[in-house]
């Protein structure tokens, strides 16, 4: 996912390598619980949204120089710094503030590595030019982008999106999140994909228009709660298909058109993988809708999470695009996303 530029009133967002799809809220007389208590019904969305998350702790993404890399061999790319001398660290700027208040040659750092918390004694250097103390590491505390929301559950207000996790662009690791927010887009632009060069979405988002939040980022997408359901009124809930109910053949996805209106686009499910446990690549799909091919060139970055519907059931969501054929890509079983 590429980083975005924040302005005072707006967030200009670019391509997110994973897309998200959220479900919409429905105010209707239909009692979903009464439809069938043994089945799960959700509202498929196909809604493109802005996504921003704050990391849990501060993620080390690189070293300032080879010299500092040799000095601080105890710090590695992918480490999550959570404390310095018993002071919690939640933002990148806090590291410099803490170091300059301590003015020590060595500091005790608590970090999380491969899921385990450990303590390290870390060398601190004083920059002769700025007279500031630093550990010589590049860090990140925030990630933002855009994607497609997959479903909304009107029973508990939850949503699921992306179909795969949000990973750090530098380390490739799944990001541990402290909190995340979802924003309403004001305009969506598409760079068409072609063979060897996948397309991408870009959009503008007003940072004050928050429609939901999330605190879960797994290998099968993000999950959270929708706060503003005004965009999702009067939408029809569909049954979530069991994986054995998905079949090869005709289906459709939900995705915004040029006017940002959600519409159906025809696809074909070419291949289905037998799976007894969750994986993000459950099927191969092909875009066959001429309008969507003309508009996007096929599957584009930012479309991950677009819901796949077959026989009036939510069967899956788009997760990946084939670089050598942007009309094709992978999808995940919807059942894995709602677990």
**Catalytic, out of 18, 125, 304, 320:** 304
Beta-bridge partner residues of 264: 254
What are the φ and ψ backbone dihedral angles of 110, each rounded to 5 degrees? -95, 125
From the centroid of its chain, how far is CA 288? 26
Beta-bridge partner residues of 145: 51
**Catalytic, out of 158, 282, 289, 320:** 289
The continuous run of DSSP H or E covering 292 comes out as helix 290-296
What are the φ and ψ backbone dihedral angles of 186, each rounded to 5 degrees? -100, -25
- How crowded is the C-beta side of 270, counted as CA atoms within 13 Å? 11
DSSP one-letter string for 106-118: EEEEEEEETTEEE
> Is residue 228 annotated as a catalytic residue, yes or no?
no
> Is residue 282 annotated as a catalytic residue, yes or no?
no
**Catalytic, out of 164, 202, 280, 320:** 164
> Is residue 164 annotated as a catalytic residue, yes or no?
yes
Rg (CA), the chain: 22
Reference 212, options 23, 55, 44; nearest CA is 23
Catalytic residues: 164, 289, 304
């Amino acid at each position: 996912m590429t980083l975005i530029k924040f302005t005072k009133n707006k967030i200009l967002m670019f391509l997110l390598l994973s897309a998200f799809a959220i479900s919409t809220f429905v105010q209707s007389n239909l009692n979903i619980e009464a439809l069938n208590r043994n089945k799960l019904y959700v509202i498929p969305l196909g809604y493109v949204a802005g996504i921003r998350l704050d990391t849990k702790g501060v993620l080390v993404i690189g070293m300032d120089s080879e010299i500092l890399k040799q000095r601080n061999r105890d710090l590695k790319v992918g480490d999550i710094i959570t404390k310095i001398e018993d002071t919690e660290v939640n933002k990148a700027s806090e590291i410099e503030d803490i170091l300059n208040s301590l003015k020590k040659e060595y500091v005790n750092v608590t970090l999380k590595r491969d899921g385990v918390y450990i303590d390290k004694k870390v060398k601190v250097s004083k920059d002769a030019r700025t007279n500031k103390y630093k550990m010589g590491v590049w860090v990140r505390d925030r990630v933002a982008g855009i994607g497609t929301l997959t479903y909304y559950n009107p029973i508990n207000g939850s949503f699921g999106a992306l179909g795969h996790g949000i990973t750090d662009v530098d380390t490739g690791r799944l990001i541990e999140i402290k909190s995340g927010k979802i924003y309403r887009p004001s305009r969506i632009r598409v760079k068409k994909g072609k063979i060897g060069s996948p397309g991408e979405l870009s959009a503008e988002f007003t940072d004050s228009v928050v429609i939901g939040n999330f605190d879960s980022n797994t290998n099968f997408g993000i999950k959270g709660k929708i706060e503003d359901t005004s965009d999702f009124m009067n939408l029809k809930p569909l049954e979530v298909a069991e994986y054995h109910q998905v079949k090869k053949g005709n289906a459709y996805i939900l995705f915004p058109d040029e006017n940002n209106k959600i519409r159906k686009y025809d696809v074909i499910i070419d291949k289905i993988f037998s799976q007894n446990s969750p994986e993000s690549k459950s099927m191969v799909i092909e875009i066959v809708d001429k309008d969507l091919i003309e508009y996007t060139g096929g599957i584009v970055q930012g479309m991950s999470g677009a819901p796949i519907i077959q026989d009036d059931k939510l069967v899956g969501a788009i997760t990946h695009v084939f670089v050598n054929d942007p009309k094709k890509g992978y999808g995940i079983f919807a059942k894995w996303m709602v677990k």
